[in-house]
Structure 1
């Protein structure tokens, strides 16, 4: 536990570098499982033919990749917010945020197979197939699609995707470069560079995260639209990434790291952020639903009608209580935010409901799309979902655990490190 009376002489000049050999078994297992499941997954995507299996797995792969994208992009959000607000409290845990954001280029690479190959992408995004058929038959597409055609074109879609990847990965790389460079030089200037750059990066991040959600998630049903969609996805991203930060810090402290710079005061603030974004997610979610219910426009209500049909209805109800009521009531207590076991339990719960939320967003579209409305579910779909999630998750875990040993686990020469270590909330 960090001591509020800590001085600079108590902290190693070069910080603490994680000895990854302490969890070499986890890395080895994650690497082996990731390699095997990744090979199986790519075999289905590349050689699965044009049948139901390949199309169904495209949804599974999109779900797994987007889930981990929200966590990695959430890490970038916290890095930018920390720098642009000149926050001192979070210096001790900022490197964990930076490590999370550094996963972004790897996630974008994993997206590529289902977006480059024609069969997987047309299975996911029906508008692509409709535009191709209209072009081949030399006739105009449907009225709504024709009006959206300037935006919904394959070339522009792929250009936007790669632009998001370059922009988000570039921001994460630059912020981390300045941060770890300061560990070596002790120069104070990177602190000011990061602050000024973050002021411009925050709106760029908002644009990329919003339109990424529009293109990859809202585009699953090209008729439906929501102007609140980007904010809804962002709320879940910020919430789930803070949960991962809490669990990562706790894991590292359990291995003997960060104990001089992280205290229960940090957990209290991280818990308050989880509480805040729990409320924010509920506010956006309710506002979107209420506006659609009140307007009662077919193109808008179809999203909720599908997700309140048969078994999906119970998932929708669970999200109301699981994503808001339960964590809200639990995190409302100060004790829950200052007790490591309780706050870690809350973080695990938040990750679970975020997992279900992303699944609820993507998977109801799979059955009607692949079976042309004949079925809401694909019988073996859950097995494909597990395969995709394990493949992407194992790869991300392997890369993340190997990367955290490359530099000090906290910014050892940041001028505000002592302020963070002495935090009293």
Structure 2
């Protein structure tokens, strides 16, 4: 059995270290969370006060950390691994970090006479617990052969990815596809519901076709359809991994519009907001966005339990489109469906006299100079504003009347 230093006892690292103990390996563990360390000590590990102390006498040093900066700090920082690392030891970084950071870390370790390989993992925290992770080994043939007995205590499948730094590269591609497809799967599920389609039927069909050979054959039947919404893969990690993939793509000048659109969804989810402010409800989104219209974004946010405060001008209500065109002589192209507007929990009327609004236009508080001048001469003529103001007042009064009768 091997003597191992294990650094990083998070959601994945802790069960991975536990499985090494179960297989009889001797572990010295370090983490900034003392409770995480104590849980491993209770299972037979030796506690360490620093990465340097954990590394003393180790044949293997395993790092499982949130980002590349932390890996570098643990290896080269004060009380870091390199202060006590044996020249015969092998460092195995199992973190998911930027591949260029991995390349630099391996090169810097080699320059100091140390050996290092990358072995990121695939699958979920449940697989980390059961010891059934997919191990993506990036190293020399000698390193992979040497590390295999230790690695197989944490997983049931090992793939030699072809050399140092290749493990993190294939992990990056795998996670990019999985995370983006997860967002697409959720979108398809919402569409099923909107169409009145039984999701059980849709799931059966898609599970047998190329469309459903991802999350619809794993995450959905095993968790979502059973009412289990506990995360198998944390949003923060998904957000980080997707960001790394898009950053690499940007450096290589590879366009990835679907990934960029998925990142917007994970951006919101990672922040876990209770309320989002969104301007100009009726406007269209930029090409390549997740939804064509901004109000469709709001539908998705509401489905996620996030409240939205937004703004809309009366001329954009779909049912008033012909009326507005007749009054102003201008066809408004951007509209919001009335049922969406009517479903709002609260409507606040922002009433401004026409002269005050035109004054704000002249002061550049609504549009930039050139746009403001054209607006005053056309849509924002005083007569038009008076008519639009009356429409807004009437529409609000109708809503109040409906609420009083309800």
| TM-score (normalizing by structure 2) | 0.24
Work out which of the two has the higher radius of gyration on C-alpha atoms and give 1 or 2: 2
Higher strand share: 2
Q: TM-score under structure 1 normalisation?
A: 0.23
